[in-house]
Structure 1
Amino acid sequence: MKPKIAFFTGARSEYGSLKHILRAIIKDNTFDYSLIVSGLHLLNQFGSTINEIKKDGFEIKYVIPIFDENISPSYLEFSNAVRDISKALLEEKPDGMFIIGDRIEAYAAALAAHFTNTKIIHSGGGTLTNGAVDNIYRYNITNLTSIHITTSLNNFNRLKTLPNVEKKNIHFVGSFAIDGIVNFKENKISIKKQFSKIIPNKFCLMTFHPVTSSKEDIALIMDKTIEYLIEKNFQILITYPNNDNGYQKIINIVDKWKNHQMITVTDNLGSQYYYSALDDCAFVIGNSSSGLLEAPYFHKQVINIGTRQDGRDTDVGVSNVSCDFEKVRLALELGFNSNWKKIPNNNIFGDGNTIPKIMKILKQNFK
């Protein structure tokens, strides 16, 4: 009998990475897998991204609703998630559970695995994001994890300092997302295929998420930034936020501007068109982790605003700016003065060879 690994996905952000390891699992045929889909994937407001998973051809074993539409998560959704994921694991009896990231539903999945004596493989430990409650979830997931997959050397070394983490179980492999970027670059598609009005190199990619560990008015900064860019006659492609507390304020700003001729709004691009947007845009602005992780691999300048990503590793080309519009405006002026020149990156999240390393680790630990 082959070892069985359960894979949990709760959001578009980590599914773009997860699907690459799923494809490798299927191709290699060493393991059986069970896919558990939950969280934002099931919400219409965030693009019903379960449909992307189905389109990719993966068999979904469990669909576990957690959130209601238009409501930020609370203790009730969290406790229900732990209960329902635990039931799935007790029924499925996998040898291990693979979890990516640090959202609240990932934490619920980790607790469910812990209570059902299911070994956890976690990708994303060691990262710091001092401006988000994810920091707490990530640290707690690390404490429950048996096999630690890190995306950067700094994260790897940070985990090694924790007294309750076995050093032999910490691995630096890089980010799955870079494997996806390498694959995309071998067969590029243009963002114009999805949005015909967008002019390549004449638009910016904008994503803002709520800031959950400070009182920054990120929605106000977003509003002023949009106004500034429109005055510059520059197109903006806006992607939706996640559903952390305070997301509705950002949605309100999106709704305010969504009908302007210079604005294009999408609730979900999917990984391939997201890479198209990164490839074709002039620059990236907002406070999303993708601006720090993926955008540098397209040699884009990035304006990272506020404290949400404080502590996270940053490559060259990323400008960290406080949540002050005058500072943001100055950073934008510098970028426009440079004609948004491309910036070579240092590959701090790996070289696109993550999947073979993951497969080797899984085979060593599940026989």
Structure 2
Amino acid sequence: MKTIGVVTVGRSDYSIYRPLLRRIEAHAQLQLRVLVSGMHLEERYGQTVDVIERDGFAITARIPVLQREDTPLAVVQAMGAGVSGFGRYFAQEPPDLLVVLGDRFEMFAAALAAVPFNIPILHLHGGELSEGAMDDRFRHGITKMSHLHGVATEVYRQRVIQLGEEPWRVLCCGALALDNVNDIQRLSREELEQRFNLDLSRPPLLVTLHPTTSDHEQTGPQTDALLAALRELDVPVIFTMPNADMAGQVIRERIAAFCAATTKARSVENFGPEGYFSILGEVAAMVGNSSSGLLEAPSFALPVVNIGNRQKGRLRAGNVIDVPFETAAIATAITQALSADFKRQAAGHEHFFGDGHAAEKLVELIVSTPLDTRLLDKTFHDVKS
């Protein structure tokens, strides 16, 4: 029996994790430990730990880290609290394997805390780029602390190897989020309207804007540029709220004011996995700078307007229009995304993020990999030119 600690710090990674959690929990040779931190434990972000429990997963540990502010100092303090909190847990109950996902500072803190305890780490979604966010550096840092890697594409696999990871450690399993496309029972339009107080009689835009953390001082003007474009267009809007990043409160305040001033806009703090994958089937297009527009939206043939540099460097399919934070450019791109011609283009994309069976492949990797000195004693793999 291997104990598998899975770190989840917010709605975005939990939605991705869910198929893997189900498979780990059901496997006779594995024991699941769900380690919850970050936004999940905060009322202001929807207390999404409750969603995890409603899904039937027992919470093994709750490790609060977030501060009241969203400044650079607050991020540093949260990372310190994360290293300390996860360290205390690992000192008492070290898992046989720790699973972390992506690139957030809370994930980085959890991985860093595991290093002195020599806990093997499986990192998901390494090798990707998001050059407009500080998360880019956290992702590559987690890669170097990890012992196994589950990546979404062969391009990302080669990049992880380029970072010095031995090829046998890196599995191209595809994107876990795509398992949800087939597995999640979706809500009907009527259920969505009732549960989230929405009017879906006209397909709305789904708008998610996060701070560009490498340039967070520009968050206010960037948000204003997007909202000015939305104001010009006769299209209903549903906002989902930003993550706990530097300057995230600036976006929240401006979205709240926008929604208060017009009847065409609503905001939803947290759709939950079923709600989110259901709403993707009802909206006309996605707008903003969420990685979901590049990862999940292609499976719904959904047009996406990706704004700014937050996702710079990520692979994207033919459903994405990239624009700068300029009101006129954003409005033009949204109009293009809503056109019949572009909708046909979005439907004819190439999807290169896997076959929707990532969880199955990852569990096989976890079960079949011996937790021995070969795994723990890492050797830098030089790529020959």
Which bin holds the TM-score, normalised by the shorter protein?
over 0.9
2:357 pairs with 1:358: no
Aligned CA distance change for structure 1 residues 217 and 31 (closer, same or farther; 3 Å): same
Aligned CA distance change for structure 1 residues 354 and 201 (closer, same or farther; 3 Å): farther
Aligned CA distance change for structure 1 residues 74 and 231 (closer, same or farther; 3 Å): closer
Aligned to 2:379: none
Retained in 2: the 8 A contact 1:208–1:240? yes
Retained in 2: the 8 A contact 1:45–1:69? no
CA RMSD of aligned residues (A): 1.8
- How far has the Cα of 1:291 moved from its partner? 0.9
Partner SS state of residue 214, structure 2: coil
Aligned to 1:55: 54
Aligned to 2:376: none
Retained in 1: the 8 A contact 2:230–2:331? no
- How far has the Cα of 1:50 moved from its partner? 0.6
Distance 2:226 2:4 in 1: 44
Partner SS state of residue 98, structure 2: strand
Deviation string for 1:224-275 (max 9, x for gaps)? 4334434432111001101211112111211211222111111111111111
Retained in 1: the 8 A contact 2:99–2:122? yes
One-letter code aligned to 1:242? N
Aligned to 1:285: 287
Aligned to 1:10: 9
Partner SS state of residue 265, structure 1: strand
Aligned to 2:304: 302
Structure 2: runs of 5 or more not aligned: 372-385
Paired residues in the alignment total 364
Aligned to 1:214: 215
After the TM superposition, which segments of 4 or more aligned residues of structure 1 sit over 4 Å from their partners?
Answer: none
One-letter code aligned to 1:203? P
Retained in 1: the 8 A contact 2:174–2:353? yes
One-letter code aligned to 2:329? K
Partner SS state of residue 106, structure 1: helix
Aligned to 1:175: 175
- How far has the Cα of 1:205 moved from its partner? 0.2
Deviation string for 1:261-290 (max 9, x for gaps)? 111111111111111121100000001111
Distance 1:246 1:229 in 2: 21
Q: What is the TM-score normalised by the length of structure 1?
A: 0.94
Aligned CA distance change for structure 1 residues 270 and 218 (closer, same or farther; 3 Å): same
Aligned to 1:125: 126
The more displaced of 52-61 and 86-95 is 86-95
Distance 2:291 2:229 in 1: 23
One-letter code aligned to 1:139? H
- How far has the Cα of 1:90 moved from its partner? 1.9
The more displaced of 125-134 and 355-364 is 355-364
Structure 1: runs of 5 or more not aligned: none
Partner SS state of residue 178, structure 1: helix
Retained in 2: the 8 A contact 1:40–1:67? yes
Aligned to 2:350: 346
Partner SS state of residue 53, structure 2: helix
One-letter code aligned to 1:128? L
- How far has the Cα of 1:218 moved from its partner? 4.4
- How far has the Cα of 1:332 moved from its partner? 1.9
Distance 2:188 2:353 in 1: 24
Between the aligned residues of both structures, percent identity stands at 29
Aligned CA distance change for structure 1 residues 140 and 273 (closer, same or farther; 3 Å): same
Deviation string for 1:325-357 (max 9, x for gaps)? 222122123234437625233221112111111
Retained in 2: the 8 A contact 1:200–1:281? no
2:110 pairs with 1:106: no
- How far has the Cα of 1:91 moved from its partner? 1.1
Partner SS state of residue 280, structure 1: coil
Q: What is the TM-score normalised by the length of structure 2?
A: 0.90
Retained in 2: the 8 A contact 1:282–1:340? no
One-letter code aligned to 1:274? Y
Distance 1:240 1:60 in 2: 25
